[in-house]
Amino acid sequence: MQGLLRISSVIDAFLERIARLGAIAGLMLAFVVVFDVVTRYFGVPKPFGLNSTQVQEFEYWLHTVLFSLVIGYAYVVQGHVRIDLIRDRLSLRAKYILEIIGCVLFLIPFCLVALRYHVAYAYASFLEGEVSKSVIGLTHLWILKSFLPLLFLLLLMAALSQLIKAVAGLTGDLPADKIAATVGSSHTSGSTS
């Protein structure tokens, strides 16, 4: 189990590094939105031959990059939505079991199916040389669509990491410092009762 926990730690560290790139996309997004607002509402001309459509499309490109790069990390650090009203009343053992069931029956199969379809979706966009539906919009839409398979790949990696930690928690092999990152912050002791 220790070997699998090391793999889980490597996955978590990788997802954190990727999420930092997502944070850069978030900063760029904030800059682009401010730039868009200032140029549009105050009549400042856009440099480099850009137009409002291209700037707004670039905003949703950056949203896609941001969400795609941080979703896996958000899952491994419990930064996502859970139904805490019910879940907080469960024992630590029940939380591990719930995490395992969620990963094995729902998240991992969903990621595999979504990954399969989104790879084909991005590849078709590349082959077709797909561009924006707007005549004055951005080109190379396949770049944007390529982030969707990446999103599901990173989420799949996060699910595998969480599955490893949940199984280790159930068997009593999970270090105490990993419990909160596996089932949430309401349990920090090593007890599985």
Least confident of 53-62, 96-105, 184-193: 184-193
Nearest to 192 by CA among 177, 171, 161: 171
Tens of pLDDT along 14-52? 999 999 999 999 999 999 999 989 888 887 777 777 888
Contact 185, 78 (CB under 8 A): yes
Contact 115, 33 (CB under 8 A): no
Tens of pLDDT along 134-188? 888 788 889 999 999 999 999 999 999 999 999 999 998 888 888 887 877 654 4
Task: Label residues 31-69 b or e (16+ Cβ within 10 Å = b).
Answer: ebeebbeebeeeeeeeeeeeeeebbbbbbebbebbbbbb
Taking the model in full, what pTM does it have? 0.86
Is 184 exposed, middle or buried (CB count within 10 Å of its CB: 0-12, 13-18, 19+)?
Answer: middle
